[in-house]
A and B are shown apart, each in its own frame.
Chain A
Amino acid sequence: QKEVEQDPGPLSVPEGAIVSLNCTYSNSAFQYFMWYRQYSRKGPELLMYTYSSGNKEDGRFTAQVDKSSKYISLFIRDSQPSDSATYLCAMSRNTDKLIFGTGTRLQVFP
């Protein structure tokens, strides 16, 4: 069993839709939870960073962490074609290496 599970998609939605991306994990020691966006042939860029449980909002993006269920989510409101990318969840126990999900490919069509 992988430490971090993420549906690879692809996920195809119309412009303006609300997108929900999710990851589950098995290691209860994870405390730091991140979402990265990766455009094709580019490096990942950090979107959201959350410590422990709770919600965090930044513009059209909301990250949720439910440690009791070992489940994290990223919501994108009013999705745009420019949001088309691969979204990677990542997590870590403390200040060491990140464990990444395989990524979910999102396509937002006009």
Chain B
Amino acid sequence: NAGVMQNPRHLVRRRGQEARLRCSPMKGHSHVYWYRQLPEEGLKFMVYLQKENIIDESGMPKERFSAEFPKEGPSILRIQQVVRGDSAAYFCASSSQRDEAGELFFGEGSRLTVL
């Protein structure tokens, strides 16, 4: 897990507030993936990004969720107007090449609690 940095590690929000989760990929990695893990469930794909491009957002809820990976700086997963059902662990993973399908390196996760 060393190298993929996520912050904050824990975030508490009240319903209706916004949550911003940040992910800095491993050095040299330009591909970022966001996954969500609900209690007692596996990881669910949300979005795949390269620098300045969203490649696949088929796992993102249509409303309130957005993601970006700017030319400079970390990738950000943004959740607007959070609801209790958004409480989960959000994991970011990075890879160096698109062809390395299995070579994903995960961060420690950001745990969002919505009160």
User: Which A residues lie at the B interface, using CB under 8 A?
Assistant: 4, 6, 8, 32-34, 36, 41-46, 49, 88, 90, 92, 94-103
Contacts and interface: CB of A to CB of B under 8 A. Distances in A.
A102 B38 CA distance: 10
Main secondary structure of the interface of B (DSSP, over half): loop
Interface residues of B, number: 27
Contacts, number: 66
B105 to A, nearest CB: 7
A33 B101 CA distance: 9
Contacts of A34: 102
A45 B1 contact: yes
Interface of B: 1, 4, 33, 35, 40-45, 48, 56, 58-59, 91, 98-109
A32 B102 contact: yes
Contacts of A8: 40
A96 B46 CA distance: 12
A39 to B, nearest CB: 10
Nearest to A92: B101
Contact of A100 (B4, B42, B101): B42
Contacts of B35: 100
27 contacts: A32-B102, A33-B102, A36-B106, A41-B109, A42-B1, A42-B108, A42-B109, A43-B109, A45-B1, A46-B102, A46-B103, A49-B102, A49-B103, A94-B101, A95-B98, A95-B100, A95-B101, A97-B33, A97-B48, A97-B56, A97-B58, A98-B33, A98-B43, A98-B101, A100-B42, A102-B40, A102-B42
Nearest to B33: A97
A43 B42 contact: no
Contact of B106 (A6, A44, A49): A44
Contacts of A32: 101-102
B44 A100 contact: yes
A96 B56 contact: yes
Contacts of B1: 42-43, 45
Given A95-B101, A97-B33, A45 B40 contact: no
